[in-house]
Amino acid sequence: GAVVSQHPSRVICKSGTSVKIECRSLDFQATTMFWYRQFPKQSLMLMATSNEGSKATYEQGVEKDKFLINHASLTLSTLTVTSAHPEDSSFYICSAGVAGLDTQYFGPGTRLTVL
Amino acid sequence: AQSVTQLDSQVPVFEEAPVELRCNYSSSVSVYLFWYVQYPNQGLQLLLKYLSGSTLVESINGFEAEFNKSQTSFHLRKPSVHISDTAEYFCAVSEAAGNKLTFGGGTRVLVKP
């Protein structure tokens, strides 16, 4: 149980285009989803926290207009990188959790490469 | 605010030798502590966690970690590593159940035959 999927697993796009990444909890309902980015050989940095049906809470320094997060249902959250640039190239990882429970379950990640 | 420090960025170790990965944290409140493992090009998998109770926690694949409140540490150990343990290991803390995690910088373990 507690499986989280991400789609796509890998995406390459041209500079200036927008890319949408989906995060789904497959066998449980996630009240909270988290989005992280990870640069090569570095740790995970939290970008934002999203709760179903409400606006995401962004970490300091993360542009909310550039990284649009939607948590439309208890099993789906999306991250849209708008007008992507090469510096947005990174490994994006989502995690899902249930309110009051201690463990987050992580997706396999999406590698974004912006040319 | 919380922070997590993993003192070793890389740890080479021979197969069947013991390994210890160090993790220290700082927080003004009680925390939950986690160790995650990341295999190449994959997401994170929970290895073990400390929430309360016994300060020594174990995973199903032979890892253990001990919470030391006075030293604010949560070091990870395995008495005998396998080639398959080659991965990146992340220590993390959260202030409350289901809350956001703060990660350490990670320790890359390379097991050599």
Q: What is the pLDDT of residues A9-42, one digit of tens each?
A: 999 999 999 999 999 999 888 889 999 998 887 8
Do A1 and A16 meet the contact criterion of CB atoms below 8 Å apart? Answer: no
Pick the residue from chain A with its C-alpha nearest to B6. A43
Q: In this structure, are strands B87-94 and B73-78 parallel, antiparallel, or unpaired?
A: unpaired
Which of A44-48, A111-115, B35-39, B97-101 shows the lowest per-residue confidence on average (mean pLDDT)?
B97-101
Tokens at B82, concatenated: 């396998």
Q: What is the pLDDT of residues A37-75, one digit of tens each?
A: 988 878 889 999 998 888 899 999 999 999 999 988 889
Contacting residues of A for B100, CB less than 8 Å apart: 34, 46, 49
Alpha-carbon gap, residue B48 to B58, rounded angstroms: 7
Q: Which chain B residues are within 8 Å of A101, Cβ to Cβ?
A: 97-98
For the four alpha carbons of A41, A46, A48 and A51, in that order, the dihedral sign comes to positive
Residues 20-39 of B with CB under 8 A from A: 32, 36
A 8-37: CB under 8 A from B: 31-32, 34
Name the DSSP class of A42.
S
Distance CA B58, CA B63 (A): 6
Instruction: Look up tokens 């994959």; give the residue.
Output: B42
Residue type, B1: A
How does DSSP classify residue B81? -
- Which pLDDT band holds residue A1 (cuts at 50, 70, 90)? low
Cα(A67)–Cα(B104) distance, rounded to whole angstroms?
24
